[in-house]
Structure 1
């Protein structure tokens, strides 16, 4: 191969990689972050109270249907970046499996929060020592309390 052919192939490879990196919607349309999962619940008010009292989430937005609350978007911070969980009222779950297995909350001290919750009557279902503690909300949805392991 001559130098021109090698340079042309190299430029084509660079343009191909650059084009791949630019895939997706225009920058002004790209999502800013993942807002969080949504759970269908049968007792919306009781679930809102549990997530507020036990895990400290507060209501960021209330979505109504027919003048009554149908869904709560809950989180820890103001604004959409703080929305981590949506609770939607449903007397029956939609057909098919849930698309996720649990709600994961990043916390500074998973063991400390799990111990505090135990004092509140919330049992640990599973433990990955010093990293993750798994609990269930009153309707059986799994919540993982996760603390990133310390790096050596």
Structure 2
């Protein structure tokens, strides 16, 4: 054997495991790597939905004070802080046939609902809300005692 001592063999093996682990971490995609910023708490984007009655619905969005865009992302968080953007997403998930409570917390139940909607619509089921997922969610609003639903494009 080319190792002179068992200790040297163990150190070499450990170094290989550390190197392999670093390569996996470096190549694993994450939501932060997306070209979109995280949706802001309190911001919303009022969009007309295709199939709606001419009005609009509020969807999660990002705003910097000068402009507003719905091209943002939300992902699971361990925080219990209630967020209006997550609540808007949860309402859309409910209207898309998912059973969950709109508590404003993006936990495991919300993530599972996002994955279900993504899989049903044949898009990458990563559990992260972004523009592509937002465009397949059924968004609804009430106007004049009638519910109007559609999708934003």
TM-score interval, normalised by the smaller of the two chains: 0.3 to 0.5
Q: Which has the larger radius of gyration?
A: 1
Hey, which of these two has a bigger chunk of strand by percent? 1
Hey, which of these two has a bigger chunk of helix by percent? 2
Please give the TM-score of this superposition, normalised by the length of structure 1.
Answer: 0.33
